[in-house]
Amino acid sequence: MQTFFIILILAFGFLITFQIAKASEYVSVLRGEEKARKQTNRINAFLLLMFLIVGLIGVYYCNERLKGKILGESGSVEGDKIDTMLYITLAITGIVFFITQILLFWFAFKYQESDNRKAYYYPHNNTLELVWTVIPAVFLTVLVGFGIVYWYRITGDAPQDAMQVEVTGSQFKWEFRYPGRDGVLGKKNYKAIDPQKENPLGQLWDDPYNRDDVMATALHLVVNKPVKLIIGSKDVIHDVGLPQFRMKMDAVPGTPTTMWFTPKYTTREMAEKSGDPDFVYEISCDQMCGKGHFGMRGTVIVETQEEFDRWLVSQKPQYLTAHPELEPKKPGADSTKVVAANLKN
């Protein structure tokens, strides 16, 4: 029913427009072409000026409405530089936007057709062409140059003291792997992937570096310590999106990608700073990757080194989850059994 009405309204709209166009055509014939053209010109000039005024009010209104909704302060040291770059780009393009748009619409109004003036014929000027080509080219080169420098920094070699986390995307979740005490991630092979046997990442168990690797469902990071993410995917292309850290990197099956950054504030500090007690850093998937894409939102926990160490030792290495028979018996477990046995007797 709703669709029917929409089609009906559209049809009426079309009919009315058509009739007005036809009527104005007759009017112009009656009034004389010349007069009608001049009137249309005046109306168009006025509408262009209105468009400028309404457009500028719209820009101001949107800015007022949305300025509180943009991301707050960057959560990473490197993100500050990316923010600076963004603000410089916005300032330059903003100034150019206002100058060119105001001139464009104002000139269209000011220099509309008039009987008192004749247009000056000015077809070409090499100096002008050169100026308005070279100046924007120089500005754009500088902006792009900064971008390349920062890009190479975050995708290049991480500092020596950086911790490593492996991030693997799959439809539709993130899995994180920590290298454990030895600081080295064990080898893996996609053929060994077997979630039934508790090996969702395909770790090769004969590699000793795999014995202490820990898997996690949230991304735990240490404040003020650089972290290098080694990113991969098990199925389609995903994208590690860390908006509060201003970081983003594709997760490509078969081709590991990396990026590194330094978290500046713990989750707790950021909650205080932003005035939102429920604040959490998020990891999202920034690549439309299928039906459950929206469900790839995960949590990043930035904590102190002590908190992180405490968390890491409390985790069971994936090797032991996959090989429960190798798990060292807890001293308490046996004694409870003995006590239980004694009680029975």
* Span interacting with Cu ion, options 78-86, 207-215, 264-272, 287-295, rule CB under 5 A: 287-295
Count of helix runs (H) and strand runs (E) in the chain: 8, 10
Query: Given candidates 234, 238, 246, 264, which one binds Cu ion under the rule CB under 5 A?
Result: 238
CB nearer Cu ion, residue 214 or residue 289? 289
Least CB distance from residue 247 to Cu ion, whole Å?
A: 16
Q: For residue 127, what is the enclosing H or E element?
A: helix 126-155
Least CB distance from residue 215 to Cu ion, whole Å?
A: 19
Least CB distance from residue 195 to Cu ion, whole Å?
A: 18
Using CA atoms, how far apart are residues 92 and 121, in angstroms rounded to an integer? 32
Least CB distance from residue 39 to Cu ion, whole Å?
A: 57
Using CA atoms, how far apart are residues 23 and 15, in angstroms rounded to an integer? 12
Q: Judged by CB under 5 A, does residue 234 bind Cu ion?
A: no
CB 155: neighbour CB atoms within 10 A?
A: 13
* Span interacting with Cu ion, options 85-93, 97-105, 178-186, 238-246, rule CB under 5 A: 238-246
Q: Judged by CB under 5 A, does residue 249 bind Cu ion?
A: no
Least CB distance from residue 175 to Cu ion, whole Å?
A: 12
Using CA atoms, how far apart are residues 193 and 47, in angstroms rounded to an integer? 65
In degrees rounded to 5, what are phi and psi of residue 219?
A: -90, 105
Q: Judged by CB under 5 A, does residue 296 bind Cu ion?
A: yes
- Strand ranges of the sheet holding 163-170, from the earlier edge strand across to the other edge: 214-216, 173-178, 163-170, 227-233, 257-261
CB 300 within 8 A of CB 283: yes
Query: Given candidates 247, 289, 300, 302, which one binds Cu ion under the rule CB under 5 A?
Result: 289
* Span interacting with Cu ion, options 31-39, 113-121, 144-152, 232-240, rule CB under 5 A: 232-240
Contacting positions for Cu ion (CB under 5 A): 238, 285, 289, 296
